[in-house]
Amino acid sequence: MEDTRCFLQKKTHLRCGAQELSLTTPVVMGILNVTPDSFFSGSRTTTADAIAARACQMLSDGAAIIDVGAYSTRPGASAVPPAEELRRLCLALEVVRGKFPRALISVDTFRAEVVREVVAQFGAVIVNDISGGQLDAKMFETAAELSLPYVLMHMRGTPQTMQQHTRYDNLMEEVSRYLSEKVSMLHAAGVADVILDPGFGFAKTTAQNFELLARLEEFKIFELPLLVGLSRKSMVCRTLNVAPADALNGTTALNMLALAKGADILRVHDVKEAAEAVKLAEEIRNYELGIKN
């Protein structure tokens, strides 16, 4: 019986260079931060040995994608020059590509020049752009020219200013309109594989983040894969009055809800727990489909 979570034409496979990723079952994207100031200190890796160990652990725990970030995008984070961002990324990618050549990698950057250099040195990657092309006008054409999958996220402003831009007349309508306009631009530019990310924590209050999650299934109308990044974020920490280091339980609870509402990719710090949530959610889904049969 057809999976009732998906529309008939929903894209269920992504191509990244010679690799293809199936999204018929949700997958986990593991976060590999090569920054000294990411909001969750437990995710920071700045040496080759630490990078190798974390990548190995994530892959062993079930990560389908390793998301490498070299520019902290926590609220109020300091800007990082392109040369320093690229230096950090190259350190990580040299290690990951060298030790795990079959690993599917995404690069968390909003700079087209960084994407070009990374692809030139290390091959095809998924582009994970928090700015939706707003911070670099060449990003869409670059992703198209290099035939790269593109994660389109909703954000206002910059990482330094985004929490000054949380006023919405109608949150879901405005986020959906933004994504719709950007998807049209990406397709016009020639980007074949687009993944949507509603941008939890980016230009959103805690209440707005929970509204997005409660209404997540409304994004199915786009018939595109949906990435959800809730891991140890402020909506968990503020609600439970815990630090990021103590937010794993809350993260897992929200990830399970996101899966029930149609998430295809969970972007997380803790791969093992997220992979277990996916497995349990799939058991529930299979049971439901069996009942309908």
The three state secondary structure string of the chain is CCCCCCCCCCCCEEEECCEEEECCCCEEEEEEECCCCCCCHHHECCCHHHHHHHHHHHHHHCCCEEEEECCCCCCCCCCCCHHHHHHHHHHHHHHHHHHCCCCCEEEECCCHHHHHHHHHHHCCCEEEECCCCCCCCCHHHHHHHCCCCEEEECCCCCCCCHHHCCCCCCHHHHHHHHHHHHHHHHHHHCCCCEEEECCCCCCCCHHHHHHHHHCHHHHHHHCCCEEECCCCCHHHHHHHCCCHHHCHHHHHHHHHHHHHCCCCEEEECCHHHHHHHHHHHHHHHHHHHHHHC
Sole residue written with tokens 């490498």: 68
Q: Which long-range contacts (CB under 8 A, 24 or more apart) does 14-17 make?
A: 14/126, 14/149, 14/193, 14/195, 14/225, 15/147, 15/149, 15/192, 15/193, 16/104, 16/124, 16/125, 16/126, 16/148, 16/149, 16/193, 17/123, 17/124, 17/147
Would you name the residues annotated as active-site residues? 233, 267
